[in-house]
Structure 1
């Protein structure tokens, strides 16, 4: 499989290695990136990045390939996706797919014009063995009707410090932390609920990565932990005095169109990190953790633990609990045979809209009603004649 890359950052450098492991014929024919942070990973593993081009248009005109992969900063995604779709290409984009509600409408219109299946998205957790087992338990009826969900994504201080130093610290580039980092998780639970979010409330801010908590303020000079993960474009050395507008903790409450409720919590300064969920249904409960590698399912009538799964990363290669390798296999299968994917661009847009609503609610200290957003989104996605709300099938 031949690919071209717009935005050869750390993530696509890593995915280049994963795709090459899965498909020995994988080849990068060219890329566009003035400062390709992912080049070192490709070099380390003997993978050629192909020819460097100045613009996406020159890359598309200069090379023949099967898939255009986009890993540019989030605020550039829409233009790069549009360029690929207008050129008649199949496009893979890293998450989050766009950075605003208005961009969500614009991309929905593009999908209406060029086809809903022309755009793949790297919401990698949909491919994880744990999530697939959760959905299987749900399909087998072990949970009954989903009633409520408690979920979280927490990251260690070194990772939180990366966000304080990277271009992702600016909302104008990333769209906010909930969108940039947690859209994975929001997509998973949207899928479990099977309906769109309707009402959203949220609170949060920055209380850990602030000047008074800097290690040197207490006489500690070893800052290695806070610079362990390298930053790329727009990188900075400032952690506790970051000039970004990013939060370091946030909680949200969501009510879906079918009445299911969810609480979601994220924090960037958790020494013993976890990424867990508890899905409670009318017939049972599923509790799991992607980081700690387990999923238990209990029957509500007997209290019996009917599933007790544990998970380990299949290799040192995996960054997402075995999901990266499966995503590579599935994307390659789609390009070669049109095989169905477990996540769509529409799923990604819906998760993104929820994340953006969480920030709107947090900033405005209000409950956000998404009814009018979904009406306009559907008008863009399916044509102006269809403004009905859609219940998800995935």
Structure 2
């Protein structure tokens, strides 16, 4: 399978290695990136990135591609997706697929015109073994009707510092921290709930990565941890005095159209990180943690634990709990045979709109009613091709 890459950053450099490990016939024909941070990693693995092109149009015109992979900064995704769709290509875009409500509505119009199957989005956690087991337990009736969810994603200080130093520190590039990092999680729970979010409230800000918390002020000189994860485009060494506008903690509560309630919490300065959920149903409850690697289901009538599983936090290939290699295999099968994927562009857009509405609620200090947004979105989604 021959692919072209727009935005050869660390993520797509890593995925190039994973795809190649899954299928030796995977080939990168060429790429577009003025400063390809992911290129050294490919070279180190003995994988060619093909020819460097100045523009996406040149790449598409000069190479016969089975798949166009987009890993450019988030705010560029819509334009790069449009270029690929207009060229008739199958596309894989890294998450988040777009960065604003308006871009979400515009992409919905493009889906109406070109078809949903032309674009796939890298919401990789849908491929994780734990999530698949969760959905299987739900399908078997072990949870009954979903009533409420408590969920979180917390990351260690070295990873939080990366966000303060990387281009993602600017919301006009990333969309927001909630969108950039937590759209994975929001998508998972949207899938479990099976309805769209309708009302959202949220609170948060920056309290950890601020100048008064800089360990250097206490005479601590070993600050390697805060620079351990390299940054690429627009990288900076500033951590506690970052010029970015992203936040470092946020809480949100969500009411869905079917009455299910969810609260979600994220913090990027957690020394013992975890990424867990507790899903309460009318017949049982499911608890799991992707990082700590456990999944349990208890039934309501007896209190018995009916499922107890553990998982490897990280596999030889995967940075996401066994999900990366499964996604690579499924994406290639989808391109070749039309295999149905567990996540769609529609799922990605709905998760993104939820994340963006959380930030709107946080900034405006109000409850956001999403029904007018969904009305506009559906009108675009079902519009006729121009």
TM-score clears 0.5: yes
CA deviations on 1:330-367 (whole Å, 9 max, x unpaired) are 00000110000000000000000000000000000000
Aligned counterpart, 2:175: 175
> In structure 2, the residue corresponding to 1:24 is in which secondary structure?
coil
* Partners of 1:152 and 1:9 in 2: CA distance: 27
1:125 aligns with 2:120: no
Residues 263 and 314 of structure 1, relative CA distance in 2, 3 Å threshold: closer
1:271 and 2:306 equivalent? no
Over residues 289-345 of structure 1, what are the superposed CA-to-partner deviations in whole Å (9 max), with x where a residue is unaligned?
A: 000000000001100000001001573221000000000010000011000000000
Partner of 2:230: 230
Structure 1 residues 138-153: aligned runs within 5 Å? 138-153=138-153
SS at match of 1:233: coil
Q: Secondary structure at the match of 1:117?
A: helix
Q: In the aligned structure 1, how far is the partner of 2:312 from the partner of 2:3?
A: 30
- Following superposition, the deviation at residue 174 of structure 1 comes to 0.1
Q: Counterpart in 1 of 2:109?
A: 109
In the alignment, the residues of structure 2 paired with residue 203 and residue 313 of structure 1 have an alpha-carbon distance, to the nearest angstrom, of: 30
- Residue number in structure 1 paired with 2:55: 55
Deviations 1:118-165 (A, max 9, x none): 000000000000000000000000000000000000000000000000
User: Closer, same or farther in 2 for the Cα pair 1:244/1:380, shift >3 Å?
Assistant: same
Q: TM-score, normalised by structure 2?
A: 0.99
Structure 2 residue 356 is the aligned partner of structure 1 residue 356: yes
| Residue 388 of structure 1: aligned partner | none
Secondary structure at 2:116's aligned position in 1?
A: coil
Secondary structure, aligned partner of 1:181: helix
Hey, what's the Cα distance between the residues in 1 that align with 2:20 and 2:99?
Answer: 30
Could you tell me which residue of structure 1 aligns to residue 26 of structure 2? 26
Name the residue aligned to 1:289. 289
Distance 1:163 1:384 in 2: 40
Write the distance in 1 (CA, Å) between the matches of 2:203 and 2:196.
21
Aligned partner of residue 150 in structure 2, secondary structure:
strand
Poorly superposed stretches of 4+, deviation over 4 Å: none
Gaps of 5+ in 2: none
Q: Verify: 1:188 aligned to 2:188, yes or no.
A: yes
Distance 2:214 2:222 in 1: 11
Q: Secondary structure at the match of 1:20?
A: helix
State the Cα deviation string for residues 167-220 of structure 1 (Å, max 9, x = none).
Answer: 000000000000000000000000000000000000000000000100111110
Shift in Å, 1:374:
0.4
How many angstroms apart in 2 are the aligned matches of 1:154 and 1:287? 16
Equivalent residue, structure 1, for 2:197: 197
C-alpha distance in 1 between matches for 2:218 and 2:384? 60
Query: Tell me, what secondary structure is at the counterpart of 1:106?
Result: helix
SS at match of 2:192: helix
Matching residue of 1:3? 3
- CA distance in structure 2 between the partners assigned to 1:304 and 1:166 by the alignment: 46
Q: Secondary structure at the match of 1:182?
A: helix
Query: Is the 8 Å Cα contact of residues 30 and 49 (structure 2) preserved in structure 1?
Result: yes
SS in structure 1 of the partner of residue 117 of structure 2 = coil
Two-structure CA RMSD over aligned residues (Å): 0.9
1:334-349 to structure 2, matched below 5 A, reads: 334-349=334-349
SS at the partner of 2:36?
A: coil
For residues 357-387 of structure 1, give each alpha carbon's deviation from its aligned partner in whole angstroms, at most 9, with x where no partner exists. 00000000000000010011000011279xx
For residues 371 and 150 of structure 1, the distance between their equivalents in structure 2, rounded to whole angstroms, comes to 23
Give the count of matched residue pairs.
385
Supply the distance in 2 between the matched residues of 1:330 and 1:317 (Cα, whole angstroms).
15
1:98 maps to what in 2?
98
In the alignment, is residue 306 of structure 1 matched against residue 306 of structure 2?
A: yes
How has the CA–CA distance of structure 1 residues 384 and 334 changed in structure 2, closer, same or farther, with 3 Å as cutoff?
closer
SS in structure 2 at match of 1:252: strand
8 Å contact from structure 2 (residues 4, 59) kept in 1: yes
Separation in structure 2 between the aligned mates of residue 315 and residue 304 of structure 1, nearest angstrom: 31
What's the TM-score, normalizing by structure 1? 0.97
- Name the residue aligned to 1:333: 333
